[in-house]
Amino acid sequence: MIIVKEKWPVLIWIALLWLTLGTSLVWSQTCGKELRGTGDLGVVVEREQGNLLIVEHSTDQVLCRVEGLGDLSHASTVYSRDARYAYIFGRDGGLTKVDILTGKIVKRVIQGGNSIGGAISQDGSLIAVSNYEPGGVKIFNSRDLSLVADIPATMNSSPNKTSVEQSKTVGLVDAPGQKFVFSLFEGAAIWIADLSDPKEPNITKFENIGIQPYDALISGDGRYYIAGLFGEDGLAILDLWQLGKGIKRILPNYGRGQKKLPVYKMPHLEGWAVAGNQVFLPAMGLHQVLVVDKNNWKESARIELKGQPVFAMAQPDGRQVWVNFAYPDNNWIQVIDVPSLKVVKTLDVGKGALHMEFTPRGEKIWISVRDEDLVKIFDTKTLKMITTFNADKPSGIFFTNRAGKIGL
């Protein structure tokens, strides 16, 4: 009898254990084929077919393809806080939420006629989309993509006195404090939209910042917003910690005394590189990268390159900056050694090298090569190619580690 009494608790414990395991197994089956994290995942944009490749950079492989995302000719991506959902901003005004674990579209809306990127709020609850047509910025709930706010970029006139009703918006980024910052191309302005109360956005405007701001970046700490100017040499910088100081102009007339070349593609400021206290800026219309001291925002050096740079991207540890180029030199990639400020390697990776993305710790870099229908992966230590895989006219590459970074 004593033995029987001792076995009953054991039998009850075993029954409870099986019940718990059974519940866990049922739960895991509802979440997909296997349980896994998203930290080593990402997407590659197949621009012409409107598809995404969901990829894993631990094993350098494609996991699946997601189809039906519309015009992705200038597509960009941000991630939810948990890095499970990718929000894709298409050129056709499409905003698409994709579950990268299941490889399925969760929701897709057409929110404008021509859009040019977007951002996710500090708390992950809001998605902002920047529009060429009809202009302005629209704000959506990240859960169901319902419209939360519409911010028209209205103005009286452009700097050349040509009347327009609404400006194209460019350079849209997220900023601390549940804010979005963006520039008005025709309106020559920078606006800050505080969405602390999404139903009543509070807009702060800075006017006459320079002719035709075309793109912008925000520093990784969320302090400095910098807009490039298409209509003139120079940039406009705004210190978000000290708004009372207003707009400051930096690098005025950086192209003085040099004959500018035809601009086949404007650089993207979100691809400008910060390495330590140095900022590496593609010089539009020149075969140079400008090196700027972050302490005073003055030019400290120039690096001569093979072509007109589009993206200058810093390795996560800041040791290297990789640069790609506009047509007709878009087969080249050049690697700059940051301590010496010298080009240490020139790589012929193939025509149409459009986008680069470092793995989170920087041991590898992925490069999309559109005209060869390939993504090529390089070792950043040896500067040699590791492997390739097929992709249909690939462009943007976006890894999930962006989910925890300001402005990305």
* Residue from 35, 44, 121 nearest 79 by CA: 121
pTM listed for this prediction = 0.87
DSSP 154: B
- Cβ proximity of 349 and 333 under 8 Å: yes
Return the CATH number at 158. Answer: 2.130.10.10
What local confidence, expressed as pLDDT, does residue 31 receive?
34
Over residues 362-379, the pLDDT tens digits come to 999 999 999 999 999 999
Q: Does residue 22 form part of some domain?
A: no
| Residue 286 φ then ψ, to 5° | -130, 160
Which domain covers residue 194, as residue numbers? 111-250
What local confidence, expressed as pLDDT, does residue 257 receive?
46
Sequence-distant (≥ 6) Cβ neighbours of residue 196 within 8 angstroms? 177, 178, 202
What local confidence, expressed as pLDDT, does residue 272 receive?
75
State the burial class of residue 387 (Cβ atoms within 10 Å of its Cβ: 0-12, 13-18, 19+): exposed
Q: Rounded distance, CA 394 to CA 116, Å?
A: 18
Q: Does residue 38 form part of some domain?
A: no
Total number of residues shown for the chain: 408
DSSP 262: P
Over residues 84-127, the pLDDT tens digits come to 999 999 989 999 999 999 999 999 999 988 888 899 999 999 99
Q: How many CA atoms lie within 13 A of 182 on its CB side?
A: 31
What local confidence, expressed as pLDDT, does residue 231 receive?
80
Q: Does residue 381 form part of some domain?
A: no
Would you list the DSSP string of 344-363? EEEEE--S-EEEEEE-TTSS
- Which pair of structure tokens corresponds to residue 196? 């602390």
- Which pair of structure tokens corresponds to residue 9? 């608790």
- Cβ proximity of 134 and 93 under 8 Å: no
Sequence-distant (≥ 6) Cβ neighbours of residue 323 within 8 angstroms? 282, 289, 305, 309, 311, 312, 313, 333, 334, 335, 336
* Residue from 185, 181, 222 nearest 205 by CA: 181
Q: Does residue 405 form part of some domain?
A: no
What local confidence, expressed as pLDDT, does residue 14 receive?
44
- Cβ proximity of 95 and 87 under 8 Å: yes
Q: Does residue 63 form part of some domain?
A: no
What local confidence, expressed as pLDDT, does residue 228 receive?
85
Q: Please enumerate, as own/partner, the contacts of 94-101 that have beta carbons within 8 Å and a separation of 24 or more.
A: 94/69, 94/70, 95/127, 95/129, 95/140, 95/145, 96/69, 96/70, 97/142, 97/145, 98/43, 98/52, 98/66, 98/69, 100/38, 100/41, 100/43, 100/54, 100/400, 101/31, 101/32, 101/36, 101/38
H-helix or E-strand spanning residue 392? none
Which parts of the chain have pLDDT scores under 70? 1-33, 156-164, 255-271
Q: Rounded distance, CA 289 to CA 334, Å?
A: 11
Residue keyed to tokens 């300001």:
406
N- to C-terminal Cα separation, the chain: 68
- Cβ proximity of 134 and 166 under 8 Å: yes
What local confidence, expressed as pLDDT, does residue 25 receive?
31
Q: b/e for 308-323, b at 16 or more Cβ within 10 A?
A: bbbbbbbbeebbbbbb
Q: Does residue 17 form part of some domain?
A: no
Q: Does residue 178 form part of some domain?
A: yes
* Residue from 363, 399, 361 nearest 379 by CA: 363
Count of domains observed in the chain? 1
Q: Does residue 258 form part of some domain?
A: no
